[in-house]
Amino acid sequence: MKIKMNIPKFLFYFVLTFPFFQLQSQNSSEDCRENLSIFAESAKIKNYKAAYEPWMSVRTNCPKYSLATFQYGELILKDFIKNSSGEQEKKKYLDDLLKLYDEWAANFPIRKGVNQIGKIYSSKGQAMIDNNFENKLKIYQTFEYAYNNDINSFSNPKSLAYYFQTAYDLYKMGNSEVPLEVLFNKYEELTERFESLRIDIAKNIDIILKKEESGVALSSKEERNKRIYDTNSNAVGAYLQLIDQRIAKEATCDILIPLYSKSFEANKDNSLWIKRAAGRLDGKECSDDPLFVTLVEQLHSLEPSADSAYYLGILNDKSGNSDQALKYYQESVTLESDNYKKANILYRIAVKFKNSGRKTSSRNYAERALSFQPSMGKAYILIANLYASSANACGDSQFNKRAVYWLAAQTAQKAGRVDASIRKIANRTAASYNGRAPSKTDIFTEGNQGQTVRFSCWIGRSVKVPNL
């Protein structure tokens, strides 16, 4: 008996053509691999013109084939923009570069299990900045998208700084998206992000410093990493200084106090808002205002923390209750669990003691800060300044009094060795103090080269007279 099979036409067609589709897929894959190899080899030697056509083929026909398509594509289009013959051609390639970032995010949003959206879109925003893209609101929204959707991979200090700069520009233009309070919030968020990056870098530097101080030679990889960490530390410091300069014009006590007073009732249960407001008032020396007292007391009642205890210390300091202030400062250190944040609190306490003339306490707290973060160069600068300010009070002769400046200079130099972000400041400070120390003529006259000068004042340290 003959059995009749009713095979649907589309299935029959698929069966007949399946080998063709399979072959086509194989050929397509081979084409992608071949074109990828061609453009990658050309791009590696910066022959971007030769790379362009095969790269476009892979980008168009198989965008998910390799991450290299977008990594090299960024370089190719940036080179084409740089070497454009006119504004129209430049705009064409810039538009394509911005489109490429969107394609990158669509095809490779994750790399090795880590989200890359923040990195991709912050790069897009930076490309707009670097090429004088006129729509500042669009730039800001691009950075905003990167920051809000993936803060972890948004780590380029330059792009973070320009994110704030763009927000600042919009505020100055009167754009409704960035009123003054939003600008301040953005500043607080970004300084916290910079602080997070600074701590990450410091942790890596401290590992290397510990090895160096133990007398063990660094490997070539460690030497290279140290240079990278130093560069990154410099960048973080420079760009943080940039946004500080911008906000300084707007963040005065006359502006801050009415702004925070107006917003307090709506935010009185928001510990993060209160902490930031109190920090800003303290940072701008507005802590004499009753609002600061209100903020601190509310913060401590909501969430007793290292910050609230520190601010209570400030209040007691201002009231002349030094012993109670110290108690709160110590509580602040105890409440903080992160060693690097603990170091920062200890440094801030050291500054408070320095400003009140309590030099021994100031140095003690600075040294405690260094015990938690050896790479905190500013702590060494503070100690150096304490020494220099005591030059006339230490030593039993004019020579020995001026010898204090050698100790100050050496301490400042150490700041530059451990912290690349303040190396220039440290070197200038050291040079200034060395200039005030006894001259070669003075050493020759005294005849004490190579001898040790001891300081019996609060310093309690010694310094060796240089050899001629």
* 155-196 pLDDT tens trace: 999 999 999 999 999 999 999 999 999 999 999 999 999 999
Instruction: Spell out the residues 6+ positions from residue 101 whose beta carbon is closer than 8 angstroms to its own.
Output: 74, 120, 121, 123, 124, 127
Nearest to 429 by CA among 359, 376, 378, 358: 378
Q: What is the mean pLDDT of the chain?
A: 91
Instruction: Spell out the residues 6+ positions from residue 165 whose beta carbon is closer than 8 angstroms to its own.
Output: 242, 243, 246
- Which residue bears the tokens 């894959």? 29
The DSSP symbol for 390 reads: T
State residue 7 phi and psi, 5-degree precision.
Answer: -95, 125
Q: What's the pLDDT at 405?
A: 97
- Which residue bears the tokens 């007292």? 293
* 20-62 pLDDT tens trace: 334 344 447 889 999 999 999 999 999 999 999 999 999 999 9
Task: Give the residue-averaged pLDDT of 319-331.
Answer: 89
Burial class (CB in 10 A: 0-12, 13-18, 19+), 383: buried
For residue 72, pLDDT over 70 is answered with yes
Q: What's the pLDDT at 326?
A: 87
Task: Give the residue-averaged pLDDT of 78-95.
Answer: 96
Q: What's the pLDDT at 289?
A: 92
Whole-angstrom Cα distance, residue 268 to residue 277?
Answer: 11
Task: Give the residue-averaged pLDDT of 308-326.
Answer: 89
**pLDDT-above-70 percentage for the chain:** 94
* 246-291 pLDDT tens trace: 998 888 999 999 999 999 999 999 999 999 999 999 888 898 899 9
Would you list the domain boundaries of the chain?
393-468
- Helices then strands, counting H and E runs in the chain, come out as 20, 4
Task: Give the residue-averaged pLDDT of 144-163.
Answer: 96
Task: Give the residue-averaged pLDDT of 335-360.
Answer: 92
Q: What's the pLDDT at 4?
A: 45
